[in-house]
Amino acid sequence: MIEPERGFAIDDVAYRWGTTPGDIPLDRPRPVSSAYLHVDVACRTVMGLPTAGVTLSAPASDRPVMNVSYALAPAPAGSGEPAYWMDRLLERFGPPDPRAERDRPGGLGITYIAAWSRPTIDIGLSIYDGVRAAAFGRSAGLLRIQWHDAAAAAAPYVAQWRAAAAEVMRSAASLAAFHRFDMPREMAPAGDPIDPHPASFEDWRALNSRTLLATPASIGERLSAASFALWRSAPDGLWALSTRWDTVVLRPGSRVSWAEIRPAKGGGHSGLSVDRLSIVMPYGTTGIAAAAAALTSLPGIAVEKVEDDDA
């Protein structure tokens, strides 16, 4: 079996880290998604342990698999749990992190957990308090391998993200239209779960939020933390939606979600969402409705309105 630092295995077939879900042979149509996805694949064994399938998780169908979760088949009758699984893993990885190994950790139906850390991967074992249904049989626990070398994972895609950001910057140099919408409270940058220093910021966006670009300075300087804009480029006719920090390009086929959630048990809200850019304000914010109307007027842009009670 391939070493986990280098990749993962599905039965006897080894895949190096960097493999995408679209690269994996399946007995059904390949998944196509630009959002985070989980793909169940038949797998009978891992590291000599019987399994009931494996789940591959990736930021998109054309982005690398970052998490691999093997559904461990139940232990044979009479074998000691969790020793049945741990003995094999101890041979392979050595003692687990003493801070992470626990019997009966409580909650979520887990009776035992163990974890190992390596420079580019994390390995985790979870044993359930009973047998559960899995995609390809019955499972008594999970063996998870997470690849967290974001720089290596993103390397093939960063140049494309940079090129898209540079294109928006060029488009913003001269504007044919600029509509600013003032909000009753301040917004914040998109919640990327990283420190926004340039390298890791670009890696994260290239992997997880490819359509979310940095707002060009010429646009951002016309906005406050409590406003956003719909603008059109004079040179190429490109339309985009920008907060002070983040921008999404609106192309034919772009879908906008407009939510008007009335106060009920909750306070309600009004909001717009395009790709990974979301703007959420108190219910009845007139600027949200005005922006939705402006977006509706754009050719090829679909605005879907959702109205409901905040239950």
Kindly give, in sequence order, each residue whose CB lies less than 8 Å from that of residue 189, ignoring residues fewer than 6 positions away.
Answer: 196, 243, 245, 246
pLDDT on residue 196: 55
Looking at this protein, which amino acid is placed at residue 111? T
* Per-residue pLDDT at 194: 58
pLDDT at 71: 98
pLDDT at position 106 = 62
Q: Which residues of 165-189 are buried (b: 16+ CB within 10 A; e: fewer)?
A: beebbebbeebeeeeebebeeebee
* Contact yes or no for 79/127 (Cβ under 8 A): no
Q: How far apart are CA 265 and CA 23, in angstroms?
A: 46
The pLDDT assigned to 15 comes to 97
**The pair of three-digit structure tokens given for residue 137, joined into one six-digit string:** 């049989």
Whether the Cβ atoms of residue 301 and residue 230 lie closer than 8 Å to each other: no
Closest CA to 116 of 140, 141, 90: 90
- Block mean pLDDT (10 aa), the chain, length 311: 92 96 87 88 95 96 97 84 91 88 71 93 94 94 96 96 95 98 94 65 90 95 98 97 97 96 97 95 98 97 97 87
Pull the structure tokens for residue 261.
């959630």
Q: What is the pLDDT of residue 166?
A: 95
The full set of domain ranges for the chain reads 7-148, 155-309
Cα-Cα end-to-end distance for the chain = 50
Phi, psi angle pair for 68, to nearest 5°? -125, 120
